[in-house]
Structure 1
Amino acid sequence: MRVTVFGSGGLGGYFGALLARAGHEVTFVARGSHLEAMRARGLQVHSVHGDFHLHPVRATDRPEEAPPADLVLYAVKTYHIPETVEALPRLLGPEGVVLTTQNGVEAPDQVAAVVGAERTLAGAVWVVSRIEAPGVIRQESAFRRIVVGELDGRLTPRAQAIARAFAEAGTEGEATAEIRKVLWTKFLFIASIGGVGSVVRLPVGAWREVPETRALLEQAMREIEAVARAEGVILDPDAVPQTMAFIDHLASGATASMQRDVEAGRPLEIEAMSGAVVRLGQRHGVPTPAHAFIYAALKPVHLQALQRAGVA
């Protein structure tokens, strides 16, 4: 399978490396020092599942140089979607598809609006990985799971084949006929813990038992549950208590990725998190006061980070 990894950071770099190691023809789209290191020294992966080194690798900062792809693994941050999504149609081969991997619930439809729903697969990903240094990916979680599905809810041979390719490469790969439900269930967790943690700016063990803060967390989850229902996505009846229980069992020093971005001064995916909850809530007349508060508190932090990065 010909694969183009569009966004070769912690997620794209790691999963793309696994596919390349498994024998697929992978082109990495990257930029800056990370790109130069990959061109010069290949891609080094340090993982709890075993280290490996790809050399040479095909890497470019010009997506159009990639051969026509059977699969585009679209792994840019959500705030980079507007500036990159228009390039996707040119990357696809005759039967190629784009697989979204972003946090949140809006990316699949943003991509489908450009390449067509028939050439879009939605993906939900669970992994902890990052660029440790240019040309080096550090993968730190026991879990490395990807669930893929068609936007129309069919369980198709192509979704199963792509899930199988990931599984054969070493991950937990799964195809589902309920990808919207999977995405919203993950969203209920990541947008709530990421939002509250980013406002509190303490590890989860310092705030999950504080009654007022715990109530804010649960309210944030209930708002997402209500917005999902308004969008026509029915989550499991115990989605909120199950997610609360999962958070209660996290290591006390755990932090969400958006909180780590706040602390590092990086731009935030706040528009795709609480911002999306607020926008969709307004569309359907669903009150979202917890996420409105989180969004109002974190948007200036995001804007300051964009200014420092020279983006805004």
Structure 2
Amino acid sequence: MDTKRFIVYGAGAVGGSLGGLLHRAGHEVVLIARGAHLAAIRSDGLRLVTGGGTETLSIAAVSSPAELDSAPGDVLLLAMKSMNTEAALRDLAAVVDPATPIVCVQNGVANERAALRLFPNVYGVCVMFPSTHLEPGVVEPRAWPVPAILDIGRYPAELDETAESIAAALRSAGCHSEPRADIMRWKYHKLLMNLGNAIDATVQPGDGIAELVELACAEGAKVLAAAGIPVTSFDEYRARRGDILSTDRASRSGSSSWQSLVRGTGTIETDYLNGEIVLLSRLHGVPTPVNEHIRQLANTFAREGRPPASLPAAELLAAIH
């Protein structure tokens, strides 16, 4: 496939960082952003903060797909939180060529299926991309010199020339990227890892965090096994990540869910992380009280604007035991 332009829908921590890295590598990029973040990018450029320094990139940005002129060779990179995917897909379907590749650079496993309802060419990406977006106009890939591992495959399970071409573009931007026919097997493992996001977002650091994450992940693994869903092993995943992503930097931020609470968005992605496990548990008759409690708790934090990481771990452990 002759990729001419990357359109990044959702220019936050992952999307903004990836768009900036692709632009920096010489690819044509358009960001779809909103609010103060969009205004900052339009007025002052996108500030890309990496281990190599800070760059201000003059990069095209629009507020919605309606402002795009769809063209052959476009690739759509979805990078919004999963709860916003369906609305984004409807907006895209109204204006872009139906044959446009839709690439889900997102956590969770529901986005690819939602995209396939409206577009025939859908790709999943297993996202290992430590990154931060807390200030309008600023994104920070936290690992350096390799910012991300972004393996890709056609959904539901296939490899093709487009996946190979996109992987090559991602590598040109400094990321590691391998085409994989079994990409969803990797994404389900990442789902298990992301079950701790809501805990990171709501619970005070310290004793009890590891136990909470272990309980949530044990439930998740049990449910995926009951559903017959293949998942990469911990050893496979650890070997793939290896020591590629170095994040030994002075400043540190929390998970994407923690960042949502810090920015006060009023929403959080937990329904598509812990909530995915809860959904599967209801379909297959495997109780998941830990993940359901965490799902409800994270939504309460987001809805009420409660401070992130403010709940004592002992209080949550007592509630779920």
- TM-score, normalisation: structure 1: 0.82
SS at match of 1:195: helix
SS at match of 1:96: coil
SS at match of 2:123: strand
Partner of residue 255, structure 2: 256
Q: Which moved more, 1:57-66 or 1:130-139?
A: 130-139
For 1:148 and 1:242, the matched residues in 2 are separated by 17
Q: Which amino acid aligns with 1:273?
A: L
SS at match of 1:38: helix
Give ranges in structure 2 of 5+ residues lacking alignment.
307-321
CA distance change for structure 1 residues 273 and 132 in 2, over 3 Å: closer, same or farther? closer
Partner of residue 65, structure 1: 67
Match of 2:28 among 16, 25, 35: 25
For 2:211 and 2:138, the matched residues in 1 are separated by 40
Partner of residue 316, structure 2: none
Q: Is the 8 A contact 1:19 1:26 kept in 2?
A: yes
Q: Which moved more, 1:181-190 or 1:139-148?
A: 139-148
What is the Cα deviation at residue 28 of structure 1? 1.2
Q: Please list the CA deviations of residues 110-165 of structure 1 after superposition, one character each: whole Å capped at 9, or x if unmatched.
A: 221222xx311111212222335332222222341211111131121111110110
For 2:129 and 2:20, the matched residues in 1 are separated by 14
Bigger helix share: 1
What is the Cα deviation at residue 199 of structure 1? 4.3
Partner of residue 171, structure 2: 167
Q: Which amino acid aligns with 1:68?
A: S
What is the Cα deviation at residue 215 of structure 1? 4.1
Q: Which moved more, 1:46-55 or 1:276-285?
A: 46-55
Partner of residue 37, structure 2: 34
CA distance change for structure 1 residues 304 and 160 in 2, over 3 Å: closer, same or farther? same
Partner of residue 151, structure 2: 147
User: Is 1:81 aligned to 2:80, yes or no?
Assistant: no
Q: Is the 8 A contact 2:124 2:152 kept in 1?
A: yes
CA distance change for structure 1 residues 147 and 33 in 2, over 3 Å: closer, same or farther? same
What is the Cα deviation at residue 239 of structure 1? 6.2
For 2:122 and 2:297, the matched residues in 1 are separated by 34
User: Is 1:121 aligned to 2:123, yes or no?
Assistant: yes
CA distance change for structure 1 residues 98 and 236 in 2, over 3 Å: closer, same or farther? closer
Give ranges in structure 1 of 5+ residues lacking alignment.
307-312
Q: Is the 8 A contact 2:189 2:233 kept in 1?
A: no
Q: Which moved more, 1:276-285 or 1:265-274?
A: 265-274
- Supply the RMSD in Å over aligned alpha carbons: 2.8
Q: Which amino acid aligns with 1:63?
A: P
- TM-score, normalisation: structure 2: 0.80
Partner of residue 276, structure 2: 276
Question: Which structure 2 residues correspond to residues 1-312 of structure 1 after superposition, within 5 A?
Answer: 1-55=4-58, 57-68=59-70, 70-93=74-97, 95-115=99-119, 118-142=120-144, 143-191=147-195, 193-202=196-205, 206-207=206-207, 210=208, 214-236=210-232, 238=234, 255-262=254-261, 265-266=264-265, 267-305=267-305
Identity of aligned residues (%): 27
SS at match of 2:164: helix
For 2:262 and 2:62, the matched residues in 1 are separated by 30
For 1:105 and 1:83, the matched residues in 2 are separated by 17
